[in-house]
């Protein structure tokens, strides 16, 4: 069996992206923005699948108010493949829905769950590692997540503690997963890095749909029952109402906490491609061009005695001038400007929550 022909990908494109204020706004969050190149984060995620999965086997799950925007940015997808969630129910709701839809339309499929806000290079190696995990899932069963070798003792990522090695697929080692670890404090992150057993949790998954549905039924039975019923209406006029009625009573719970931490057979493919979870402005240091003074920018920038700043503008050709400043984040849009020290970037979300509502 050609596993690639049996592969379906669901892209999770929800989230508010408040750490990317002022470019990311409630009406157009970060996954729909051009932050790293000529294409938006969602489009780049879709582009990464070219040659591996045809558009008709790609789903996008997003907030209902962004469904039309997702369809506009990915006109290659069938209209029904963009699913607007009526209210946020964290990743367990989205994964349960995706699995139920895929099992109904493509019984026995291998399903991969990806996020719309990652940067990954090179795409060719990403596809190889994904295919390797898909082959293992098809032949051996189990739930597969992707672990990233940590480049630093980062406190902004969750971690995966790996156990015994169980094989290798397409050059990627596969381990039993010993534990999921929450975002650590600095002391714990330092210990994780020294241990050699901890990887960054990428939040990407591969599994047979029947395997993840069986675990959801066991650990989140209400999710399983509701989304299985909703899936029966997919492609009909009753779908939107059924989805709203099925989603509303579900509790907000992540797929890691709700299912993966409790599942009997969870495995980790150790990925060796370049990966960044573009969670905030500081993450752009990994993807934006850098000048001779260490300033990262995608706009017209003039500097004098200024180093290691991140400067971004939403307006084409907008010139920013920095004089005698270092380690700042400067972001300009037509109606708002952000200036903060890199060390204060985590406080952007708190400030945004206190801003007057438009």
Tokens 């939040």, residue?
Answer: 203
pLDDT value at residue 71 = 97
Residue-wise pLDDT tens digits, 46-95: 999 999 999 999 999 999 999 999 999 999 999 999 999 999 899 999 99
Q: Is the dihedral of CA 60, 61, 62, 64 positive or negative?
A: positive
Same domain, yes or no: 241 and 328:
no
Same domain, yes or no: 118 and 202:
yes
Choosing from 277, 310, 343, the residue where a domain stops is 277
pLDDT value at residue 284 = 87
* CB 161, CB 147: distance < 8 Å: no
DSSP conformational letter for 159: E
Q: Name 206's bridge partners.
A: 112, 144
Instruction: Say how far apart CA 333 and CA 22 lie, in whole Å.
Output: 7
Residue-wise pLDDT tens digits, 175-200: 999 999 999 999 999 999 999 999 99
Same domain, yes or no: 304 and 227:
no
Instruction: Say how far apart CA 115 and CA 45 lie, in whole Å.
Output: 8
Choosing from 262, 277, 292, the residue where a domain stops is 277
Same domain, yes or no: 144 and 168:
yes
Same domain, yes or no: 181 and 312:
no
Residue-wise pLDDT tens digits, 283-301: 888 888 899 999 998 889 9
Same domain, yes or no: 115 and 264:
yes
Same domain, yes or no: 115 and 178:
yes
Q: pTM for this structure?
A: 0.92
pLDDT above 80 (res 358): no
pLDDT value at residue 110 = 98
Domain extent, residue 88, equals: 3-277
Choosing from 277, 295, 316, the residue where a domain stops is 277
Host H or E run for residue 125 = helix 123-140
Number of domains composing the chain: 2
Residue-wise pLDDT tens digits, 1-48: 688 899 999 999 987 778 889 988 888 888 998 887 779 999 999 999
Residue-wise pLDDT tens digits, 205-257: 999 999 999 999 999 999 999 999 999 999 999 999 999 999 999 999 999 99
């Amino acid at each position: 069996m050609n596993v690639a022909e049996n592969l379906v990908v669901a892209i999770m494109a929800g989230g508010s992206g408040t750490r990317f204020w002022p470019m990311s706004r409630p009406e157009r969050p970060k996954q729909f923005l051009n932050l790293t190149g000529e294409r938006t984060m969602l489009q780049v995620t879709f582009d990464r699948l070219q040659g591996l999965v045809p558009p008709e086997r790609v789903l996008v799950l997003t907030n209902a108010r962004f469904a039309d925007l997702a369809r506009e940015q990915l006109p290659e997808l069938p209209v029904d493949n963009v699913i607007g969630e009526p209210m946020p129910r964290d990743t367990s709701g989205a994964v349960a829905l995706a699995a139920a839809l895929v099992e109904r339309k493509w019984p026995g499929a291998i399903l991969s769950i990806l996020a719309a806000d990652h940067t990954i290079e090179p795409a060719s190696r990403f596809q190889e590692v994904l295919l390797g995990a898909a082959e293992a899932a098809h032949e051996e069963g189990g739930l597969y997540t992707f672990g990233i070798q940590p480049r630093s003792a980062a406190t902004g990522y969750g971690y995966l503690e790996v156990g015994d090695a169980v094989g290798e697929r397409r050059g990627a080692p596969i381990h039993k997963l010993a534990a999921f670890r929450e975002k650590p404090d600095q002391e714990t992150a330092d210990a994780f890095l020294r241990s050699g057993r901890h990887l960054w949790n990428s939040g990407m998954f591969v599994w047979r749909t029947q395997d993840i549905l069986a675990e959801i039924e066991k650990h989140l039975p209400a999710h399983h029952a509701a989304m299985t019923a909703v899936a029966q209406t997919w492609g009909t006029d009753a779908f939107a109402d059924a989805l709203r009625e099925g989603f509303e009573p579900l509790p907000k719970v992540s797929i890691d906490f709700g299912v993966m931490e409790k599942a009997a057979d969870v495995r980790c493919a150790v990925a060796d491609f370049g990966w960044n979870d573009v969670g905030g402005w500081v993450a752009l240091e990994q993807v934006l061009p850098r000048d001779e003074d260490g300033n990262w920018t995608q706009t017209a920038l003039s500097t004098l005695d200024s180093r290691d700043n991140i400067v971004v503008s939403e307006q084409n050709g907008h010139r920013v001038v920095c004089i005698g400043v270092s380690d700042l984040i400067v972001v300009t849009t037509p109606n708002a400007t952000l200036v903060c020290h890199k060390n204060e970037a985590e406080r952007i979300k708190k400030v945004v929550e206190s801003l007057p509502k438009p």
